Amino acid sequence: MSVTEEIRNRLEQAFRPTLLEVVDDSERHRGHAGYREGGESHFNVTIRAAAFAGMSRIERHRAVHAALGKDLVGRIHALALDIGA
């Protein structure tokens, strides 16, 4: 399974989002620190789910980090998150 699919699966299961976009943005970072041949190092995630209502910004980010898991987060060089209810 690609990292993109793995991110998508874990977030779908955890939050049942109404909107979920997982974009591998690695190419834009070619030559920068953390870039790997084949991509899958830099991701932009946009997610909307009712589960985030009432959470602070930090809580939302922590919830996403927790759903992805330490192992997966550790393998990603950069993760830009746009989280909303």
Partner 1 sequence: MTDMKDRIRETIEGNDVVLYMKGTKTMPQCGFSSRVAGVLNYMGVEYQDVNVLADEEIRQGIKEFSDWPTIPQLYVKGEFVGGCDIVTEMTLSGELDELFDKKGVAYSKEAAEKIREANA
Distance CA 69, CA 84 (A): 20
User: Within 23-82, which residues bind partner 1 (CB under 8 A)?
Assistant: 29, 32-33, 57-58, 61-62, 65, 70, 73-74, 78-82
Residues 6+ apart with CB under 8 A from 32: none
Distance set, CA 38 to CA 18, 30, 82 (Å): 30, 10, 24
Q: Is 10 in the site for partner 1 (CB under 8 A)?
A: no
| Residues binding partner 1: number (CB under 8 A) | 16
Give 10 or 61: the residue with its C-beta nearer to partner 1.
Answer: 61
Site residues (CB under 8 A) for partner 1?
A: 29, 32-33, 57-58, 61-62, 65, 70, 73-74, 78-82
